[in-house]
Structure 1
Amino acid sequence: MPFSRIAVRAGKPAPYRKALMRGVHLALREVFKVPEDDLFMIVTEHEADNFAFGRHYLGIERSDDLVMIQIAVSNTRGQDQKTALFAQIAENLARDPGVRREDVFINLVDVARENWSFGNGVAQYAT
């Protein structure tokens, strides 16, 4: 049950933001084999004063179109699968909505299964 946060500079149109979500979700489905309806995402927009990053960190030239993605997932995937996910997300976002690979920054957070609410009785109290 991945939970994804996508942060961009303010001013991107809705179709652009939706394409970001589609690209990330498609990569999660293809690489991590998550079910189609396993979709939990947030896109946030930030004014320039609230969106800071190293433009040249590690020799990568980033632009104002940087997309910061943080994905929390169960800690069940190996490094090869994580690397494949990073590559697939970058490829998907390059295709649509046209994000440069240098402008895709991904942070994957491994979370122990017991730290997710599913299976811990939360849903039964939601009604």
Structure 2
Amino acid sequence: MPLLKIDAIKGRTSAQIQQLLDATHQAMVEAFEVPERDRYQIFNEHEPSHMIIQDTGLGFERTDRVVVITAISRPRSVEMKQRFYALLVAALEEKCGIAATDVMVSVVTNRDDDWSFGMGRAQFLTGEL
């Protein structure tokens, strides 16, 4: 945990998707200080006409390499979130060739009682995690 959902336009190879997932995970591990095996990622591909990701008037253009990352997480500090954003765009640029202008991130916060990792139990509440 966090659960990372990554939405992108179709066209990446399996190797490129794996690089993207690995880079995203490393940024999250470093910024949110979670264990390496705390990895929950879902990658969704979309037809180009199914994603409209504009710049909210910030003055840059998106390309067909755009990715939208939703991190569903327990509460994190402002500093952790800002570090995640910075580490993420640096890693995606370096390892995947994705420009910082093609990375949109939203962190959605929930609570311990909102998570069950299996077995029908809320492991954060039961003390298993």
User: Are 1:73 and 2:61 matched, yes or no?
Assistant: no
- Return the TM-score normalized by structure 1: 0.88
Task: Give, in angstroms, the shift of residue 57 of structure 1.
Answer: 3.5
Moved over 4 A (4+): none
Residue equivalent to 2:112: 113
Task: Give, in angstroms, the shift of residue 49 of structure 1.
Answer: 1.8
Between 1:52-61 and 1:18-27, the stretch displaced more is 52-61
Task: Give, in angstroms, the shift of residue 56 of structure 1.
Answer: 6.2
- Return the TM-score normalized by structure 2: 0.87
Task: Give, in angstroms, the shift of residue 20 of structure 1.
Answer: 1.0
Gapped regions of structure 1 (runs ≥ 5): none
**8 Å contact from structure 1 (residues 8, 65) kept in 2:** yes
**8 Å contact from structure 2 (residues 113, 122) kept in 1:** no
Residue equivalent to 2:46: 46
**8 Å contact from structure 1 (residues 23, 92) kept in 2:** yes
The 5 A counterparts of 1:1-127 are 1-54=1-54, 57-75=57-75, 77-118=76-117, 121=121
Deviations 1:71-111 (A, max 9, x none): 10101x21111101100000010011110010011111111
Q: 1:15 to 1:57 in 2, by over 3 A?
A: farther
SS of match in other structure, 1:4: strand
Name the aligned partner's letter for residue 109 of structure 2.
Answer: D
Q: What percent identity do the matched residue pairs reach?
A: 30
SS of match in other structure, 1:42: strand
CA RMSD of aligned residues (A): 1.8
Gapped regions of structure 2 (runs ≥ 5): 124-129
Q: 1:113 to 1:103 in 2, by over 3 A?
A: same
